[in-house]
Structure 1
Amino acid sequence: MEEEFEFDFTEDPKLSVERYEEMIRNQDQYFFDAQAFENIIDYYIDKNDPVKALQVIDYAVMQHPYAAIFHIKKAQLNVFTNEITQAFESLEKAELLEPSDPDIYMIKGNIYESMDRHEDALENLKKALQMAENKDEVLMQIAFVYQNMGDYDEAVTYLKLCLENNMENQDALYELAFCYDVLDKQEESIQFYEQYIDNEPYSFAAWYNLGNAFHKLSLFEKAIDAYDYAILIKDSFASAYFNKGNALVQLDRFDEAIEVYRQTFEYEKPNADTYCAIGECYEKLEKMDEARSFYKKSVKMDPKLADAWYGIGVTLDFEERYFESLHFYKKALNIDDQNPDYWFAIADAHYKLGNLKDSEAAYEKVVELNPLDTEAWLDYSSVVFEQDNIPKCIEIIALGIKNNPDSAELYYRFVAYLFANGEYNEALNQLEIALNTDVEKNYLLFEYLPQLQTNKVIVDIINRFSK
């Protein structure tokens, strides 16, 4: 019969592991207290070796049959190895031994959530909440379940409880901002973060989220102030610099934005998004060489960043290098073929190259993807007009008006095409609608068909509306 030794290595986890591995090598039986076994199990979990961790649990259960912790650890490993039935069995054993351990119900809740059984998940998590000393994690999990159910209002309730429980829980702060964003309740978000900051004025995360809420309401000056406070508290907060740069861009303060974007490089490695943002600032400043240089850095770091390929195309387009620009627009489109801006740029480049059929096909795609783009409807119809297909122009603009019934620009163009097609009565009817929509824009009609300026009937109607 093998001799059994007892060791207590709770003070030194590494020593526990060494003695355990010695026991396995010697095919011997040593006794370890429960804490030592926990240390050994955690060691193998940290080393991502679930098989050895489960082996230790088997020894631990033999030596400590009434300790629920080992069944709980086994359940966690069962979940990790996707053995869900075994996980539930382990949790049942743990529950028999220690029914007041919140981890049992936390794990159950998480398993049910992974199975999309939200109600069962909530039932177990709320049970865990009653028992848990540290309620943070449980409240966060409950909030996540409500998010997955699409009940963001209830998620907000639990995230606020989480913050009441621990004001420094940054994850809860960011999740709360996300929920307010989904609910489109930016004013409520601002109110919450301002109150929170009254109690926690040095929370950089709160100032940052406040800045984001201001940004979404287009209150860019206020957003910049909030980002500045976040940076003042944590000067290495790269995301705050980046978002401040974005706010400066919205205010057309491109030189300042470039400086702020560059500051992110002091605190994190340059990334493709920041290079692309700097490129866009230089583009807006019409410094195309610098813009192209940064766009190229961006695609070198991330060849899948469509906006950077598109940006290179824009710089070439500006220099009237349309054939080259088309190549880069197409690279952007290969990555994201549902982006109407890319199709618009391709349509415009084809038009400038005299490829009217290709331009027409691209404009058709633009209005399909973004039927609210009135400029695209106008340009699309112009390309068709140049091919002398006036009936199709009329169809295009009629469809444009159907999607944009308040667009005076489309009505005036409609009038021009109807006149060009000899449909004078309908043209005069549409002219009255155009004048009712926006009388000040009647000049658009003459911009497109200057010869109508001598048409007495049209001039009389416009004069009547102008009075």
Structure 2
Amino acid sequence: MEEDFEFGFTEDPKFSVERYEEMIRNHDQYFFDAQAFENIIDYYIEKNDPAKALQVAEYAANQHPFAAVFLVKQAQLLAITNQTTAAFAALDKAAMLEASDADIYIIRGNMFESMERYTEALENYEKALERAEETDEILLHIAYVYQNMGDYETSITYLKLCLEQNMENQDALYELAFCYDVLDNQEESVQFYQQYIDNEPYSYAAWYNLGNAFTKLSLFEKAIDAYDYAILIKDSFASAYFNKGNALVNLEKYAEAIEVYRHTFEYEQPNADTYCAIGECYEKLEQMDDARAFYKKSVKMDPKLADAWFGIGVTLDFEERYFEALHFYKKALDIDALNADYWFAIADAEYKLGHMKEAEEAYEKVVELNPMDIDAWLDYSSILYEDERLTGAIEIVAEGIKNNPEAAELYFRLVAYLFAKGEYNEALSQLEMALATDPEKHHILFDYLPQLQDNKVILDIINRYTR
């Protein structure tokens, strides 16, 4: 015969769990009060066992049919386990019992949000706002929905409301930085974080985001100051060290950057990005053995990090080991085939190895991917010029000028090629264009064709522009 035992709330939730598990083992039926059931459900949620938690919630709902809390828990767990229809049904039942429970509308909003039914998500979050005591997390969710709808301005409005409710909400601080980033509005971002810091001077997240905004405005000194404050408040803040390192790199302070990057290892496991960043600093300091060692550590941790493979190539290229460098450049390219810098390095290495056809094909790829790369147009045309394909060289530079009409270097190079081909009138006309664009760069012409330094007509035209 079945016995009914009653177990109420106990100081130790583990006691309730043990009694519940004993009941299941014995195929028995004990009675638990509502608080004990909540403890048991929370225990399984913390143990990351939603299926068991759901079982308890259903059992609790049967024992306490008028307690909306268990229907809400049920809905939450059904949603987690992708049983959406059942979750909505549980919430409808809960709303009939206790329509004032904000959690009903929050969970419903979450589900609509994940289904990308944003209007219905917003309607439910608005209802939750009217009923909840603490609203910062709801405001944060509303901000997320507007982000998903591509309305970043409105998202910012709700993130600011969220922070008014709870200045400590780190997620809102980071999301706000993200929205300003998408809108490319760093000035307003700086203004907001500075005001925020006036009220909350010990918010390391605000200092960190201020540093990021200054970095995006290329105000690296100010960025470093902001990161220093973040680190002062939270000395284990690895991301602040990393971004400070990046700012130092932008100021070409490579040795200091290495020290700062190394600090991150005290507070988090070394990762491939940091190893790669340190490698790059050693590369800039022309300490190629150290650079290569760190790049190798980086690819060992993350074989998909293209920049680290590329870095190994750069160190070998520096040592004139072009054939080996090519191997690593191509490994980087396998991962990121649309990277113009990788193609440029390959083109240059092929050229140095005397593989003109391969170099030409690689340069063609560079200018296709990045038509604003003036050096690539110059080098590409140079290969054709050296091969005495003057018409081709002229066409390539002309194409470069179409994409970069302000680039005096290209005009001066075109002038040199036209003179070399004997098209003097066109050369003189292009020389006027070149000098009108930037008269100071006329030496480029003489670097390429030194014999033109004795040409009186050319010197007269240059003097007219440089006086």
> With structure 1 as the length reference, what TM-score do the two structures score?
0.97
Contact 1:411/1:431, CA 8 A, preserved across alignment: yes
Structure 1: how far apart are the matches of 2:227 and 2:49? Answer: 43
Q: Which residue of 2 aligns with 1:82?
A: 82
Residue 381 (str. 1) matches residue 381 (str. 2): yes
- Would the alpha carbon gap of residues 51 and 205 (structure 1) be closer, same or farther in structure 2, given more than 3 Å must change? closer
| Secondary structure, counterpart of 2:116 in structure 1 | coil
Q: What's the offset of the Cα at 1:110?
A: 1.2
Q: Which residue of 2 aligns with 1:310?
A: 310
| Secondary structure, counterpart of 2:31 in structure 1 | strand
Residue 448 (str. 1) matches residue 430 (str. 2): no
Q: Which residue of 2 aligns with 1:264?
A: 264
Structure 1: how far apart are the matches of 2:261 and 2:49? Answer: 42
| AA at the equivalent of 1:70 | F
Q: Which residue of 1 aligns with 2:290?
A: 290
Provide the aligned length of Structure 1 versus Structure 2.
Answer: 467
| AA at the equivalent of 2:366 | V
Q: Which residue of 2 aligns with 1:321?
A: 321
Q: What's the offset of the Cα at 1:279?
A: 1.2
Q: Which residue of 1 aligns with 2:428?
A: 428
Q: What's the offset of the Cα at 1:388?
A: 2.0
Q: Which residue of 1 aligns with 2:29?
A: 29
| Secondary structure, counterpart of 2:2 in structure 1 | coil
Q: What's the offset of the Cα at 1:228?
A: 1.1
Q: What's the offset of the Cα at 1:152?
A: 1.1
Structure 1: how far apart are the matches of 2:344 and 2:80? Answer: 48
Matches within 5 A, 1:154-303: 154-303=154-303
Structure 2: how far apart are the matches of 1:425 and 1:208? Answer: 59
Structure 2: how far apart are the matches of 1:157 and 1:10? Answer: 45
| Secondary structure, counterpart of 1:6 in structure 2 | strand
| AA at the equivalent of 2:134 | N
Q: What's the offset of the Cα at 1:217?
A: 0.8
Q: Which residue of 2 aligns with 1:342?
A: 342
Superimposed CA distance per residue, residues 249-271 of structure 1 (whole angstroms, 9 cap, x where no aligned partner)? 11111111111111222222222
| Secondary structure, counterpart of 1:354 in structure 2 | coil
Structure 1: how far apart are the matches of 2:229 and 2:49? Answer: 45
| AA at the equivalent of 1:6 | E
Q: What's the offset of the Cα at 1:320?
A: 0.8
Q: Which residue of 2 aligns with 1:45?
A: 45
Q: What's the offset of the Cα at 1:27?
A: 2.0
- Report % sequence identity: 76
Q: What's the offset of the Cα at 1:15?
A: 1.4
| Secondary structure, counterpart of 2:106 in structure 1 | helix
Residue 137 (str. 1) matches residue 143 (str. 2): no
Structure 2: how far apart are the matches of 1:72 and 1:389? Answer: 77
- Which residues of structure 1 form unaligned runs of 5+? none
| Secondary structure, counterpart of 1:30 in structure 2 | strand
Structure 1: how far apart are the matches of 2:74 and 2:419? Answer: 81
Contact 1:9/1:15, CA 8 A, preserved across alignment: no
| AA at the equivalent of 1:5 | F
Q: What's the offset of the Cα at 1:326?
A: 0.8
Superimposed CA distance per residue, residues 142-178 of structure 1 (whole angstroms, 9 cap, x where no aligned partner)? 1111111111111111111111111111111111111
| AA at the equivalent of 2:182 | V
Superimposed CA distance per residue, residues 372-397 of structure 1 (whole angstroms, 9 cap, x where no aligned partner)? 11011111111122222222222211
Q: Which residue of 2 aligns with 1:368?
A: 368
Q: What's the offset of the Cα at 1:10?
A: 4.2
Contact 1:295/1:308, CA 8 A, preserved across alignment: yes
Structure 2: how far apart are the matches of 1:117 and 1:420? Answer: 66
Q: What's the offset of the Cα at 1:52?
A: 2.4
Q: What's the offset of the Cα at 1:464?
A: 2.4
Q: Which residue of 2 aligns with 1:394?
A: 394
List 4+ stretches of structure 1 deviating above 6 A. Answer: none
Q: What's the offset of the Cα at 1:453?
A: 2.8
Q: How large is the Cα RMSD of the aligned pairs? A: 1.5
Superimposed CA distance per residue, residues 15-70 of structure 1 (whole angstroms, 9 cap, x where no aligned partner)? 11211122222222211111111222222223333332222222212111111111
Residue 123 (str. 1) matches residue 123 (str. 2): yes
Residue 100 (str. 1) matches residue 100 (str. 2): yes
